[in-house]
Structure 1
Amino acid sequence: MFRAALIGDLVGSRDAADRQALHTRLSRALAAVQQQLPSLDPPVIQAGDEVQCSYATVGEALHAGFLLRILLAPEADIRFGVGWGRVEVLDAQRRTQDGPAWWQARAAIDTVEARAQHPGTRYARFCYRSAPDGSGPTEAAVEAALLCRDHLMGSLDTRSMRILGGLVAGRSKTEIGRAEKISTSAVSQRTQRDGLDVIVAASAMLREVR
Structure 2
Amino acid sequence: MIAVIADIVGSRKLADREGAQREIENAIARAQRTLPVADRMLAATVGDELQGVYLALGDALASLLLVQLELPEPISCRFGIGIGSVRAVPSGEGEIPEGPGWWAAREAIDLVHSKQQRTAPTARTWIVAAPEEDGRMHDAVRLANAYLLARDQLVGTMSERTRRLVAGRCARLTQRELAEREGITQSAVSQALTTAGAAAVVEGFHALGAGVPR
Q: Which runs of 5+ in 2 are unaligned?
A: none
Alignment of 1:135-174 (within 5 A): 135=134, 136=137, 138-174=140-176
RMSD: 2.0
Please point out which of 8, 11, 34 is paired with 2:9: 11
Write the distance in 2 (CA, Å) between the matches of 1:18 and 1:108: 27
Identity %: 32
Q: Does the aligned pair in 2 maintain the 1:88–1:99 contact within 8 Å? A: yes
Write the distance in 2 (CA, Å) between the matches of 1:181 and 1:42: 31
Write the distance in 1 (CA, Å) between the matches of 2:89 and 2:47: 22
Paired position in structure 2 for 1:116: 116
1:114 aligned partner, one-letter code: S
Secondary structure in 1 matching 2:53: strand
Paired position in structure 1 for 2:189: 187
Paired position in structure 1 for 2:51: 52
Write the distance in 2 (CA, Å) between the matches of 1:190 and 1:155: 12
Q: Which moved more, 1:5-14 or 1:84-93?
A: 84-93
Secondary structure in 1 matching 2:117: coil
Q: CA deviation at 1:178?
A: 2.7
Write the distance in 2 (CA, Å) between the matches of 1:32 and 1:107: 28
Q: CA deviation at 1:148?
A: 0.7
Deviations 1:167-196 (A, max 9, x none): 123221112223333321222122222110
Deviations 1:152-176 (A, max 9, x none): 1112123322221221232211122
Secondary structure in 1 matching 2:179: helix
Paired position in structure 1 for 2:23: 25
Write the distance in 2 (CA, Å) between the matches of 1:171 and 1:127: 28
Q: Which moved more, 1:19-28 or 1:109-118?
A: 19-28
Paired position in structure 2 for 1:178: 180
The runs of at least 4 aligned residues of structure 1 exceeding 4 Å deviation read none
Q: Which runs of 5+ in 1 are unaligned?
A: none
Paired position in structure 1 for 2:130: 131
Distance 1:44 1:96, change over 3 A: farther
Q: Does the aligned pair in 2 maintain the 1:8–1:65 contact within 8 Å? A: no
TM (norm. structure 2) is 0.87
User: How many residues are matched?
Assistant: 205
Distance 1:116 1:15, change over 3 A: same
Q: CA deviation at 1:100?
A: 0.7
Write the distance in 2 (CA, Å) between the matches of 1:30 and 1:180: 21
Q: CA deviation at 1:31?
A: 2.8
Distance 1:78 1:172, change over 3 A: same
Paired position in structure 1 for 2:101: 101
Is structure 2 residue 87 aligned with structure 1 residue 85? no
Deviations 1:8-54 (A, max 9, x none): 11111121111111122222223333433242235431222211011
2:108 aligned partner, one-letter code: A
TM (norm. structure 1) is 0.88
1:30 aligned partner, one-letter code: I
Q: CA deviation at 1:206?
A: 3.1
Secondary structure in 2 matching 1:40: strand
Secondary structure in 1 matching 2:20: helix
Write the distance in 1 (CA, Å) between the matches of 2:78 and 2:201: 17
